[in-house]
Structure 1
Amino acid sequence: MVADTAAVLPVREGEDRWTARELAEVRATLIEESAALEAEIAAAASQIAEGDGADGAGDDQADTGAKTYEREHELALTYNARDLLNQAERAVQRIDAGTYGICESCAKPVGKARLQAFPRATLCVSCKQREERR
């Protein structure tokens, strides 16, 4: 399946076509990354749940503030990990569907080199720059 997909994936002018091996490596990397992120999210959720059990009785304002800051920081890291997990899973789905490497904004090739460096990319460099300027 990966071999068939690799043959039809778009590339930018001057880039070599995807090989089945290259695409399989990218897919395997994304799956490994997803598993690691799932473990990280589970560990963070467990840690956050443990923190919820503390009643905080007898804490002064500084202790309460520090605990609140730490909890918000852990939540932010968990949200970021979930976002990365969603991106990785979506990239695998795009590989499987044969739409990997097509810019979601302009429908031009994202670029093989860009995808090898950042396999979760869904926008070409031009569209990503435009998005960041907004």
Structure 2
Amino acid sequence: MNKRKMASFRKVLLEQKEILEKQYKDLEEGSLLASQSEFSGEMPFEDEYAASGTTTFERERDLSLSENVKDILKRVNEALERIDSGNFGICELCGDKIIEERLHALPYANLCILCKQKEEKALR
């Protein structure tokens, strides 16, 4: 892959990283604010039981979203490291090139399509 394409992928990854870091921060702050209001007694007693299921659902949803964002952020950072080391666009399992169409769709991809399919099949 030439330097211009590599620089383009770096730019896309850095933009994704910035967006993901903001999403993660927003999710963490939202979770913290929800916890603080719950413990501060801001909710009327009669509403407490009715809202407890909703609160639990929202907390679990936010935790799941936060973990997903954190996982993708980790993959983006790893892709940036692969660019720095010269291994970007190379499958970590078989060593073949990852097709550019895949990298455009998923710039943090670390496996070629064939190896990813094998990995997913093994997880079933």
- TM-score, length-normalised on structure 2? 0.87
Matched, 1:46 2:34: no
Give the whole-Å Cα distance in 2 for the aligned partners of 1:116 and 1:43.
27
| Secondary structure at the counterpart of residue 96 of structure 1 | helix
Instruction: Calculate percent identity across the aligned residue pairs.
Output: 34
Give, in angstroms, the shift of residue 113 of structure 1: 2.3
C-alpha RMSD of matched pairs (Å):
1.3
Which SS does the other structure have where 2:90 is aligned? coil
* Residue of structure 2 in register with 1:10 after alignment: none
Q: Give secondary structure in 2 for the equivalent of 1:108.
A: coil
TM-score of the aligned structures, taking structure 1 as reference length: 0.81
Greater RCO structure (CA 8 Å; 6+ sep): 1
The separation in 2 between residues aligned to 1:25 and 1:103, in whole angstroms, is 19
Q: Deviations over 1:11-42 (max 9, x none)?
A: xxxxxxx2322211110110111011111111
Tell me which amino acid in the other structure corresponds to 1:48. Answer: S
| Structure 1 alignment gaps of length 5 or more | 1-17
How big is the shift at 1:102?
A: 1.4
SS at match of 1:99: coil
| 1:116 corresponds to which of 104, 108, 112 | 104
Q: Where does structure 2 lack aligned partners over 5 or more consecutive residues?
A: none
**Normalized per residue, which structure has more helix?**
2
The structure 1 residue matched to 2:71, chosen from 65, 73, 83, is 83
Query: Aligned residues, how many?
Result: 116
Distance in 2 (CA, whole Å) between partners of 1:91 and 1:129 is 20
